[in-house]
Amino acid sequence: MKELLEQAIELGKEEIPLGEVASYIPELANADVKKIGIAIQDMQGNMETCGDVDNEFTMQSIVKVAIYALALEDLGLRRVLEKVGVKPSADAFNSIVKLEDDSNHRPLNPFINAGAIMCTAILKGSIDKRRHRVIELLQKLFNRDNVQIDIDTYLSEKATGDRNRALAYMMKGTGIMDSDIDVEKVLDLYFQLCSVKVTVKDLANMAAVLANDGVSPITGEQILSLKVNRVVLTVMFTCGLYDYSGEFAVRVALPAKSGVGGGILAASKGKYGIAVANPALDIHGNSIAGVRMLEYISDKLDLETF
Ligand code: GLU
């Protein structure tokens, strides 16, 4: 396995010059483009790693998986579907052009910004309680208890988050977001959660839970219910890589979620949780080396879903 990961890293490195570090959030532009890592965990909890495995980066969109899962646990699929669709998007992750053009203007899916902001808005409890609950969930998913927010990234997101602000107010304007919701507080929490610091090891732990029907391979705890886990994996498969999800589905064929911090996690049901990271992004906002590494690993280990 170690050799396979080393080969994947070599392939990934070839892709780095073709990508660019995210710059629309100024703090993300400081990422070291040479940092590249992989971690893979099996269903017994054994982990193999390669590259810069202790390098920290922010979760960004990957946290949308945890926010969506918690919204589903809180409200159930039927009620969440009333507020957020599951339609793959041909537009960019921060697209402002359309909310779903059905009668109630739902955001297209929970993994584009509008949908994730909506999920943050419908979680149960006060804003503080929600932050606490999402962080608590992440701690279980990562199997460690000191999960932290990167304050500089959070402040940078907040200072430059006007597109996200516009999305949230548009949803309030159309009425899909309830009129009594405090948009600024919801956005503040969303920016904080996008700024949670992780390593590929954390994300491999999280992916392994998703691959193992919501159960931690290490502690045996059922962290996500079977039903929620199934829905989350399905939406990851169809919407996890923004408007690149279709091509990713044929190239890698695993449910996955990427973030503009350069991480991608992927779950191979009953087999492995995999995480890759490098901050050079393709035009869709996915780690360009990360996609290549996952394609290689999925092919070599014969993990393709279909
Ligand atoms: N915090 C980022 C934003 O809202 C998340 C984007 C992403 O990773 O797709 O723009």
Query: Digits of tens for pLDDT over the chain (306 positions)?
Result: 999 999 999 999 999 999 999 988 898 999 999 999 999 999 999 999 999 999 999 999 999 999 999 999 999 999 999 999 999 877 776 666 566 666 678 999 999 999 999 999 999 999 999 999 999 999 999 999 999 999 999 999 999 999 999 999 999 999 999 999 999 999 999 999 999 999 999 999 999 999 999 999 999 999 999 999 999 999 999 999 999 999 999 999 999 999 999 999 999 999 999 999 999 999 999 999 999 999 999 999 999 888
Q: Is 45 exposed, middle or buried (0-12, 13-18, 19+ CB in 10 A)?
A: middle
Which residues 6+ apart lie within 8 Å of 241 measured at CB? 248, 256, 257, 258, 264, 284, 286, 291
Catalytic amino acids?
Answer: 61, 64, 190, 242, 260
Amino acid at residue number 113: N
* Residue (of 46, 37, 1, 191) closest to 113 by Cα position: 191
Question: For position 89, what pLDDT does the model report?
Answer: 76
Residue 242 CA: nearest ligand 1 atom is: 9
Ligand 1 centroid–CA 195 distance in Å is 9
In this structure, are residues 205 and 218 in contact, taking their beta carbons and an 8 Å threshold? yes
pTM: 0.96
CA–chain centroid gap for 115, Å, is: 13
